[in-house]
C-alpha cells in the first residue's frame, strides 16, 4: 500500500489522484471512537481546501496509528497516509457539541498532509476574510459571511491578528504545536456558524472538506482511458462511399489505429497483474476479425510498447503517450474471398480486467476484381472517374516480396476496380517510395487524404 502511495506521489500529476480518492460517508467514525452525525449538508460550500496541496488524509489522530486510542505503531504509519477519509467531527471528547448525537464531541476534522514531516506542508486561507484571533496553537479566520474557520497546531505562521487575507493565501505550515507537549503532525480544522435555535456552534466540516478537496484534485481521470488519434489503411479509399476503403477479394493489405493514453496508468503488455499491464487491441464481440482471423493485437506489436499517460507527444518510441497498433506497416489483413462490406471493429482491453476507450472501426468494401482486371465491373459500378485519383498510398507497404506479383495491379484508367494503384514514378521503386511515405506520414501525424481518417476521434 505504501509503495503505491509513494509511486503516485512521485510520478502522477495532481489530477491523477482524483481517481484514487475515496472517503467514508459523513458520520461514519472509526469503530469505537464515538457516534457520528449523519449530515449531508455542505456548511461552507465553495471553500478552498485548507492545505495547499494534495494528497491529504482526513482521519483520526487519537484512534489512528500513533494515537492514544489507536492500534499501535507510530504517527507516520502508512495507513495514516492512505485513503479512505474518515469523519471525526463527533469523535469522543468532553467538549459540548449540540449537533453531535452524544451532545459532546471533537469539534472539527483532523487532516494529515502528504507526509508526517512537520513545518513543510503549507496551509492556506479557505476564503476571503480576516484573521480575528491567534491563540497558543490556533488561528481564527473569519469569512465575510461570518463563518469562523479555525486552524490548529500550525507552525511557521504567515499571518497576524487583524490581517485581511485572500482565499488561497498562505496561513502557515502543518505542524504539531499544542502549547506544550506536542500533538501529532496534523491540521485540526473546524467551522463555527450560527445555527438557528442553537446559536454559534461548531458545525460539521467534513462534507465541505470533501467538496473542497475534490475541487483541488480536479476532474477525475480514469485509470484506463484512451482516445483515437488517427487510423488508416494501405488500401484504396472507397470511391463509392459504401465503405472507408476498397480491396480486392483475397488481397493482402494493412490497417492501423493510433490511440492515445488519456488515463492515469501506463500501458504495457508485460502480462503483469496490475492495471494496464496486459493491454491489447481486441475484437469487439465474439469471433475473429474478418481480415486478420484473430481477435487480439498485442501492444508489444507496436513501435511503442510502453505507453505513458504523461509521456512525450509521440507514438513511435517507448514512453510516448500514443501507440500505433501495430508498427509499420500496420496490422496485416487479408480480404475475404466473398465480396461485400466488412467491418473491422476493435477496442482496447486490459486483459481479464476491463475494456476501455472508444470503439474504433474501419470498413472495407471487398470486391471481385477478377483475374487480371478484365472483369472489372464487379462492385465498382460507375466510379471510374475517381479511381486512382490522389495517389493513394498503396498496399505495397505490405512487405514487398512478391507484392506486385500477387496483387491485382490494375491500370487506374481502366475504369474498374483499381484496387491497387501502380506506382508509376519513373526512376524510383514505387514500393520504397510508398513505404517511406507511410513512415513519414506516421511521424508527422498529418492527414494525408486517402490514407487516414480521424473522424471518429
Ligand atoms: Zn482535532
What's the CA-to-centroid distance between 17 and ligand 1, angstroms? 25
What's the CA-to-centroid distance between 316 and ligand 1, angstroms? 52
* Cβ-based neighbour number of residue 285 at 10 Å: 8
Residue 371 has a pLDDT of 63
Residue 20 has a pLDDT of 84
Residue 373 has a pLDDT of 43
Nearest to 207 by CA among 21, 26, 24: 26
Q: Look up the CATH number of domain 2-217.
A: 2.70.70.10
Q: pLDDT, tens digit, for every residue of 313-356?
A: 999 899 999 999 999 999 999 999 999 999 999 999 999 889 99
Residue 219 has a pLDDT of 81
What's the CA-to-centroid distance between 172 and ligand 1, angstroms? 17
DSSP state of 377: T
What's the CA-to-centroid distance between 2 and ligand 1, angstroms? 24
Contact by Cβ (8 Å): 260, 229? yes
What's the CA-to-centroid distance between 212 and ligand 1, angstroms? 19
Report if pTM > 0.75: no
Top CATH class, 226-453: mainly beta
What's the CA-to-centroid distance between 78 and ligand 1, angstroms? 19
Nearest to 307 by CA among 286, 322, 329: 322
Residue that is written with C-alpha cell 460539521 in the block: 204
Residue 17 has a pLDDT of 65
Nearest to 76 by CA among 2, 172, 7, 179: 2
Residue 370 has a pLDDT of 82
What's the CA-to-centroid distance between 275 and ligand 1, angstroms? 36
What's the CA-to-centroid distance between 182 and ligand 1, angstroms? 13
What's the CA-to-centroid distance between 51 and ligand 1, angstroms? 15
Residue 311 has a pLDDT of 87
Contact by Cβ (8 Å): 445, 229? yes
What's the CA-to-centroid distance between 13 and ligand 1, angstroms? 29
Residue 386 has a pLDDT of 32
Residue 349 has a pLDDT of 97
C-alpha distances in angstroms, 33 versus 105, 309, 352? Answer: 10, 41, 40
Residue that is written with C-alpha cell 451532545 in the block: 103
DSSP state of 404: H
- Domain borders along the chain are 2-217, 226-453
Q: Residue 48: which residues within 8 A CB-CB, separation 6 or more?
A: 124, 125, 126, 127, 167, 168, 212, 215, 216
Q: What residue ranges of the chain have pLDDT lower than 50?
A: 1-16, 373-457
Residue 6 has a pLDDT of 36
Q: How many residues does the chain have?
A: 457
Q: pLDDT, tens digit, for every residue of 70-96?
A: 999 999 999 999 999 999 999 999 999
DSSP state of 421: P
What's the CA-to-centroid distance between 118 and ligand 1, angstroms? 16
Contact by Cβ (8 Å): 361, 282? no
What's the CA-to-centroid distance between 189 and ligand 1, angstroms? 7
Amino acid at each position: 500500500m505504501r509503495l503505491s502511495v509513494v509511486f503516485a506521489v512521485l510520478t502522477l500529476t495532481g489530477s491523477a489522484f482524483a481517481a484514487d480518492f475515496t472517503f467514508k460517508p459523513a458520520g461514519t467514525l472509526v469503530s469505537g471512537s464515538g457516534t457520528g452525525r449523519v449530515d449531508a449538508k455542505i456548511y461552507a460550500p465553495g471553500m478552498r481546501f485548507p492545505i495547499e496541496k494534495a494528497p491529504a488524509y482526513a482521519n483520526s489522530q487519537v484512534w489512528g496509528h500513533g494515537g492514544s486510542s489507536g492500534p499501535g505503531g507510530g504517527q507516520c504509519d502508512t495507513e495514516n497516509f492512505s485513503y479512505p477519509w474518515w469523519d471525526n467531527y463527533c469523535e469522543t471528547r468532553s467538549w459540548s457539541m449540540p449537533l453531535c448525537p452524544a451532545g459532546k464531541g471533537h469539534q472539527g476534522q483532523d487532516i494529515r498532509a502528504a507526509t508526517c514531516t512537520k513545518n513543510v506542508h503549507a496551509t492556506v486561507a479557505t476564503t476571503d476574510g480576516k484573521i480575528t484571533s491567534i491563540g497558543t496553537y490556533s488561528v481564527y479566520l473569519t469569512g465575510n459571511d461570518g463563518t469562523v474557520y479555525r486552524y490548529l497546531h500550525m507552525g511557521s505562521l504567515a499571518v497576524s491578528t487583524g490581517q485581511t487575507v485572500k482565499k488561497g493565501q498562505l496561513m502557515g505550515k502543518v505542524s504539531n504545536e499544542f502549547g506544550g507537549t506536542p500533538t501529532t503532525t496534523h491540521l485540526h480544522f473546524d467551522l463555527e456558524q450560527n445555527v438557528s435555535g442553537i446559536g454559534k456552534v461548531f458545525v460539521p466540516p467534513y462534507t465541505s472538506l470533501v467538496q473542497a478537496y475534490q475541487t483541488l484534485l480536479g476532474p477525475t481521470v480514469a485509470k484506463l482511458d484512451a482516445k483515437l488519434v488517427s487510423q488508416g489503411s494501405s488500401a484504396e479509399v472507397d470511391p463509392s462511399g459504401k465503405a472507408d476503403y476498397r480491396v480486392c477479394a483475397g488481397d493482402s493489405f494493412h490497417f492501423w489505429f493510433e490511440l492515445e493514453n488519456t488515463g492515469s496508468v501506463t500501458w504495457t503488455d508485460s502480462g503483469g497483474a496490475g492495471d494496464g499491464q496486459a493491454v491489447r487491441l481486441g475484437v469487439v464481440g465474439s469471433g475473429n476479425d474478418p481480415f486478420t482471423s484473430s481477435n487480439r493485437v498485442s501492444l508489444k506489436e507496436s513501435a511503442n510498447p510502453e505507453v505513458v499517460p504523461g509521456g512525450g507527444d509521440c507514438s513511435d518510441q517507448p514512453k510516448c503517450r500514443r501507440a500505433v497498433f501495430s508498427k509499420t506497416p500496420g496490422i496485416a489483413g487479408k480480404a475475404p474471398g466473398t465480396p461485400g462490406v466488412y467491418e473491422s471493429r476493435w477496442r482496447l482491453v486490459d486483459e481479464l480486467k476491463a475494456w476501455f476507450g472508444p470503439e474504433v472501426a474501419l470498413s472495407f468494401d471487398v470486391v471481385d476484381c477478377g483475374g487480371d482486371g478484365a472483369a472489372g465491373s464487379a462492385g465498382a459500378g460507375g466510379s471510374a472517374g475517381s479511381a486512382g485519383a490522389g495517389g493513394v498510398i498503396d498496399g505495397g507497404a505490405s512487405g514487398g516480396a512478391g507484392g506486385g506479383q500477387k496483387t491485382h495491379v490494375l491500370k487506374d484508367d481502366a475504369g474498374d476496380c483499381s484496387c491497387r494503384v501502380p506506382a508509376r514514378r519513373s526512376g524510383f521503386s514505387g514500393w520504397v517510395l510508398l513505404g517511406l511515405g507511410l513512415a513519414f506520414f506516421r511521424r508527422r501525424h498529418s492527414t494525408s487524404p486517402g490514407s487516414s481518417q480521424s473522424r471518429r476521434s
